[in-house]
Amino acid sequence: MCGIVGYVGKKPVLDILLDGLEQLEYRGYDSSGVAIKCPDAIKVYKAEGKLSNLREELAPHAYELAKSTMGIGHIRWATHGAPTVINAHPHTCNCGNLVIVHNGIIENYKELKEELEAKGCVFKSQTDTETIAHLIANIYGEVKDLTKAVQLATKRIQGAYALCIMHNDEKDKLVVTKRNAPLVIGVGEHEFYVASDVPAIIKHTKRAIYLTDNQVAVLTPETMVLQDENGKELTPKVEILPWEPVALSKMGYKHFMLKEIHEQPDVIRNILVGKLHTSNSPIILDEVKVNKETLKNLNRIQVIACGTSLHAAMIGKYIIEDFCGIPVDVEASSEYIYRKTVTDEHTLVIGVSQSGETADTLTAIKQSKARGSHILIITNRPDSAMAREADSLIPVSAGIEVSVAATKSYIAQLTSFYLLALYMAEIKSSMPADKLTELKSGLLTLPQKIEQILAHKENIQKCARKYSSTRDFIYIARGINYPTALEGALKLKEISYINATGYPAGELKHGPIAMLDETMPVLSILMKGSVYEKLLSNSEEAKARNARMIALTNSDDEKLDDLFDYIIRVPEIEELLSPIIAMIPLQLMAYYIAEFLGKDVDQPRNLAKSVTVE
């Protein structure tokens, strides 16, 4: 969600900025822009839509910009004001001397804008960001020092921001700062890179500095000065990034999403290595820092997450309650933070997030931490803001996920929940030994079973084509796979824009059944086990209303052939592990429908990979 880049050094800046923005495209955006420091003045170029439009806009200026070695860039995901050229960043003050890019939301921008307009500032855009440009420029007019002006201005700003700022009168100087929004500085030889996320800098350097909230860094080709909000000098901490640049290639797949779906067997293998050796050995989960006595006596767990991670959390609840007998509440972070929650030092709070930067989840985590709860974070980004808040950190190690629609990070979150639930069950002795062994052995077989599904994906592709012209889609399931129905529907919605909904099948007759007729596809996630027969009856009810019935099943029951128009078969698996197996065809189904409809699979409209605003 919005991405900023910046560079100051000795190399031509334009390609560095454009390439950096391209690496951030996965975050989701609808316009873009750059500001380049030229010998006479800073020049700004912007475009609506994809980065290719910005490249076109820049093409006639390539020669004059070729020697510039400092600049900032931005991809914008519209919050205040439509995705137009005027609203695209960078934004400038009245005279154009000061230029900024911003990621985040300024909550008090209306008051600030009124005040600044009264002082003669003329606003060109509808954005909250332009307020910051005018505010800093106004203060700069008085103090004549960019760093100081930034420090004074940010004290007046409420909300979230990562900012990268240049001024015509401050030669070779980039000023950056942040609060509740991600920002990383890459340290090179006689150069610094700035970005919202590591992919934009990793091919240039592995040495990085993460700013903490309210710190201000002043960068020139040779120096970095780090200060707190009051100007007190601080010592920067340089970290070595655990990333490889090759991770961002499609490796021959048409889309990142398809590649990431195919990576899932290896993702599970990587997670299990070192944690689960054989079905008879205990789970090793040293990442959990809660002492064993406390774990044994834990009487409440809360899990907070958003979107796909929330669905992983719902399955996490199911298995922790089943394996360990500990009550678990799951809540959408955006709801959790605006009510009086009962959390204290006796509650284990688990935050689940692919990006580790989701604003609502981060706020919820901070609230629970302030109330004394132990914070366990399950994330794919051990370098994220959430990871830094964690008392216990379980990195899910799925590798960077580029496609906006989460696939491998979801499967990695689920695998981590299985390990956690089994680990706690062993400590609590809450599960019979043979059941533990069966589940561990089942976990070890998952990668191979997913490979079997991927090897027969043509059947799913055929099914996707058959149903791709539908306007609506219903997914039904019961028990542990109800969240799978929600996640299957979410995937389809996100990338194909078909109105898909997941229901607990028992709820169909309490309302949604009114929607059913011969145009409505209903997909039943029919895994063998405790609710199989019940779900079969619910599917009969849908069939009796002429719905177009699809089964996703691991049963070879012949009566399914009469009930369903299309059957997708997956390998046998213990019911408690079936959410992982059931999800793979649903990811493929969403992918093939969207691909068949010609949608922008990896960057669906309106969506952002890292949702850094509340």
Tell me whether residue 138 or residue 361 sits nearer to ligand F6R (CB atom). Answer: 361
Query: With respect to ligand F6R, which residue has the nearer C-beta, 162 or 516?
Result: 162
Binding test (CB under 6 A) with ligand F6R, winner from 30, 426, 494, 595: 494
CA 334, distance to chain mean position in Å, is 15
For residue 486, state whether it binds ligand F6R (rule: CB under 6 A).
Answer: no
What span, in angstroms and rounded, lies between the C-alpha atoms of 148 and 539?
66
The Cα 157–Cα 373 span in angstroms is 30
In the complex with ligand F6R, the residue whose CB is nearer, 351 or 504, is: 351
Q: Where is 257: in which H helix or E strand?
A: helix 256-262
Using rule CB under 6 A, residue 496 touches ligand F6R: no
CA distances 361 to 78, 157, 394, 441, Å, are 21, 22, 16, 33
Q: Does 306 bind ligand F6R (CB under 6 A)?
A: yes
Of 7 and 77, CB closest to ligand F6R: 77
How many angstroms separate the CA atoms of 419 and 399, rounded?
19
Tell me the C-alpha to C-alpha distance, in Å, between residue 22 and each of 17, 29, 62.
9, 11, 18
Least distance between ligand F6R and beta carbon 30 (Å): 17
Among residues 37, 493, 599, 609, the one annotated as catalytic is 609
Going by their DSSP bridges, the two strands 31-37 and 98-106 should be labelled as unpaired
131 near ligand F6R, rule: CB under 6 A: no
Residue 424, classified by CB atoms within 10 Å of its CB into exposed (0-12), middle (13-18) or buried (19+), is buried
Site for ligand F6R in 399-438 (CB under 6 A): 405-406
Query: Would you say 318 or 591 has its CB closer to ligand F6R?
Result: 591
2 is catalytic: yes
**From candidates 307, 447, 579, 585, binder to ligand F6R by CB under 6 A:** 307
309 contributes a contact to ligand F6R by CB under 6 A: yes
Name the segment binding ligand F6R (CB under 6 A); options: 227-235, 264-272, 347-355, 591-599: 347-355
| 408 or 449: CB nearest ligand F6R | 408
Is 364 a binding residue for ligand F6R by CB under 6 A? The answer is: no
Instruction: Outline where 123-178 has alpha helix (H).
Output: 129-143, 146-156
Hey, is 467 helix, strand or coil? helix
Binding mask 366-405 toward ligand F6R (x if CB under 6 A, else -) reads ---------------------------------------x
CB of residue 456 to ligand F6R, shortest distance in Å: 24
Dump strand ranges (E) for 530-591: 548-553, 566-569
Q: Tell me how far, at minimum, the Cβ of 307 lies from ligand F6R, in Å.
A: 2
Nearer to ligand F6R (CB atom), residue 341 or residue 355:
355
Q: Which residue number, 572 or 614, has a Cβ lying nearer to ligand F6R?
A: 614
Q: Residue 553 CB, nearest distance to ligand F6R (Å)?
A: 24
Stretch that binds ligand F6R, among 10-18, 51-59, 104-112, 300-308 (CB under 6 A): 300-308
Exposure of 199 in the CB half-sphere (CA atoms within 13 A): 20
Distance, in Å, from the CA atom of 430 to the CA atom of 207, rounded to the nearest integer, reads: 45
For ligand F6R, which is the closer residue by CB, 186 or 351?
A: 351
Among 320, 551, 581, 611, binds ligand F6R (CB under 6 A): 611
| Total number of residues that touch ligand F6R (CB under 6 A) | 13
Name the β-bridge partners of 6: 72, 194
Minimal distance, residue 378 CB to ligand F6R, in Å: 10
What's the min distance (Å) between Cβ of 362 and ligand F6R? 9
- Of 308, 373, 484, 554, which one interacts with ligand F6R (CB under 6 A)? 308
- Contact code string over 194-233 relative to ligand F6R, x by CB under 6 A: ----------------------------------------
DSSP 8-class letter at 230 = T
In this chain, which of 361, 416, 484, 578 binds ligand F6R, going by CB under 6 A? Answer: 361
- Of 111-119, 351-359, 520-528, 583-591, which segment contacts ligand F6R by CB under 6 A? 351-359
Give the residue among 350, 494, 495 at the shortest CA–CA distance from 420.
350
Q: 479: which 2 tokens? A: 């028990």
Catalytic residue among 2, 93, 324, 463: 2
Residue 353 within binding range of ligand F6R, rule CB under 6 A: yes
Strand pairing partners for 553?
A: 526, 569
Q: Give CA angle at 94 (89, 95), nearest 5°.
A: 100
How many residues appear in the chain?
614
| Greatest alpha-carbon span in the chain | 81
Q: d(Cα 340, Cα 64) in Å, to the nearest integer?
A: 58
* Residue 595 C-beta-side C-alpha neighbours within 13 Å: 18
Question: Exposure of 419 by Cβ count < 10 A (0-12 exposed, 13-18 middle, 19+ buried)?
Answer: buried
Give the Cα separation of 387 and 437 in Å (integer). Answer: 31
- Residue 48 near ligand F6R by CB under 6 A: no
CB of 387 to ligand F6R, least distance (A): 12
Nearest residue to 457 via CA among 258, 597, 596: 258
Contacts for 442 with CB less than 8 Å, ≥ 6 apart: 573, 574, 576, 577
Angle between helices 264-272 and 408-428 (to 10 degrees): 30
- Please calculate the CA angle 563-567-572 and round it to the nearest 5 degrees: 110
Closest contact distance (angstroms) between CB of 258 and ligand F6R is 15
Tokens of 564: 């369903």
Which residue in the set 31, 131, 196, 355 belongs to the binding site for ligand F6R (CB under 6 A)? 355
Q: Give CA–CA dist 164/91, Å, rounded.
A: 11
Q: Which is nearer to ligand F6R, 34 or 611 (CB)?
A: 611
Q: How far is the CB of 31 from ligand F6R (least distance, A)?
A: 21
Q: If binding is defined by CB under 6 A, does position 602 make contact with ligand F6R?
A: no
Q: Quick one: which segment of 179-187, 306-314, 441-449, 539-547 binds ligand F6R (CB under 6 A)?
A: 306-314
Is residue 307 within 8 A of residue 405, CB to CB? The reply is no
Compute the least distance from the CB of residue 492 to ligand F6R, in Å: 11
Q: Which is nearer to ligand F6R, 69 or 354 (CB)?
A: 354
- DSSP secondary structure letter of residue 507: G
Q: Is 609 a catalytic residue?
A: yes
- Nearest approach, Cβ of 333 to ligand F6R (angstroms)? 8
Footprint of ligand F6R (CB under 6 A): 306-309, 353-355, 358, 361, 405-406, 494, 611
Catalytic center residues: 2, 609
